[in-house]
A and B are shown apart, each in its own frame.
Chain A
């Protein structure tokens, strides 16, 4: 693997290997001194054209725990405002000597484009509505640590919310399906994919009908910028039909777990008491994010022989 741009780059076997590898890094993150010299002398740059403090911090923490050097580039504080093109920016950064570029961009396909320009490894940290592969991997790792290595087969996963515009949903559906889970996407018709082609999942608009069957309830963030538009007329209406309220959470099976990629809109897609309740594994997702990103960076930069 020379880049991680899409869940498709890994396939079922690759996902399985990466999750097994992640266990080694979970152990490292739990040490008193959570740092190993594995990527000493390597440089990882985070190149973020879209705000995302948590994902950027998670990648930077992962790199630092591997003893890589980190650099951070955000569009707000850069020469982008002076009109520099993406190509020039990327080439300039590469010329400083970087081994991996972690890219977030509002345009789908931007990380693929960058990967075609440079020799350094490229990790997609979210591109437009397209993919966010490390989010899907950390979600799988969180479930695997809870359910065991055989826990995915036939697992009923519901992904609820703005599926159509969500890169988290797109990567998540692919990854869950690849490991053998049974995925249903749930949301209002305006927020479901126009076609399920390329989505290995079923779809429904009726959350209350789907809910009692689910083993995993995965809530997507309602993006405020979609509010008030024709897509989501009102918050209240969304919460009434699709929010995981305390009343809905009470109808879940006893061992069903609740996940959310963050940041949460408490009281909108998830009730505060549900987010903090015993079925929620949202905090574990964040902790596992660092371990998964360590595994990804190690796989790209540490595990193999150097590219000649």
Chain B
């Protein structure tokens, strides 16, 4: 998908780009690739570093539950769990949550549930690390906080993201960040992961033409 495509051009399951889950904006711009920010090796190193930081911050991984936000957050959470298993020998539980029903823009735009919430352990008194690919306005993270507290009362909730692209609209910050990436609001950040997307791992910035 290197050819310019019409509209916001968000990948399926994105909600960190303005065009996401919406019909193409009227008179939709063509988007084209601006920069390749991470290649597969960069992405692997970022996962490894975040995994180390999670273990370091929490003095081990014994109480940690990694909960990915559909769709790519779930893939990232699995990769983090694999990394922690490799260097700590601890099998960290991985869950998946869908924040659709907790969003603050239900009725304002098309909101589509992406999959059933599945958290394999009771989160009460555990350290829940919410995992997503991109942190943008913070509205998805806010919805995720509400979704996770419906399932129990974690001892702490932390947030890990591959990319923090700025432009927060709520007082939310990430605890673990793969890369801080200054962007324009109109641009798209596209994280590609083998498990979800075709082709190689990578992070790209796409922007409107003209």
Chain A residues packing against B (C-beta within 8 Å) = 21, 23-24, 26-28, 31, 33, 36-39, 66, 298, 302-306
Contacts and interface: CB of A to CB of B under 8 A. Distances in A.
Contact of B106 (A28, A31, A38): A38
Interface in B138-157: 146, 150-151
Given A21-B113, A24-B113, A36 B102 contact: yes
Contacts of B116: 23-24, 26-27
A33 B150 contact: yes
A130 B99 CA distance: 38
B111 interface: yes
B200 interface: no
A31 B108 contact: no
30 contacts: A23-B115, A23-B116, A24-B98, A24-B113, A26-B116, A27-B116, A27-B118, A28-B101, A28-B117, A31-B150, A36-B101, A36-B102, A36-B150, A37-B101, A37-B146, A38-B100, A38-B102, A39-B106, A298-B101, A302-B101, A302-B106, A302-B107, A303-B110, A303-B112, A305-B107, A305-B108, A305-B109, A305-B110, A306-B107, A306-B108
Nearest to B111: A303
B122 to A, nearest CB: 9
B101 A38 contact: yes
A39 B112 CA distance: 14
B112 to A, nearest CB: 6
A27 B117 contact: yes
A31 to B, nearest CB: 7
Contacts of B106: 38-39, 302
A126 to B, nearest CB: 27
A115 to B, nearest CB: 21
Contacts of B110: 303-305
A148 to B, nearest CB: 15
Most buried by B among A23, A24, A31: A24
A13 B9 CA distance: 24
Most buried by A among B106, B108, B111, B118: B106
A282 B152 CA distance: 32
A73 B114 CA distance: 35
Most buried by A among B100, B107, B108: B107
Contacts of B98: 24
A304 B109 CA distance: 6
Nearest to A35: B150
A28 B115 CA distance: 12
A131 B106 CA distance: 30
Contacts of B107: 302, 305-306
B108 A37 contact: no
A31 B151 contact: yes
A304 B112 CA distance: 8
A37 B102 CA distance: 6
A305 B106 CA distance: 8
Nearest to B102: A37
A256 to B, nearest CB: 28
3 closest cross-chain pairs (CB), A and B: A38-B101, A27-B116, A36-B101
A298 B107 CA distance: 11
Contacts of A303: 110-112
Contacts of A26: 116
Contacts of A28: 101, 117
Contacts of A36: 101-102, 150
Contacts of B111: 302-303
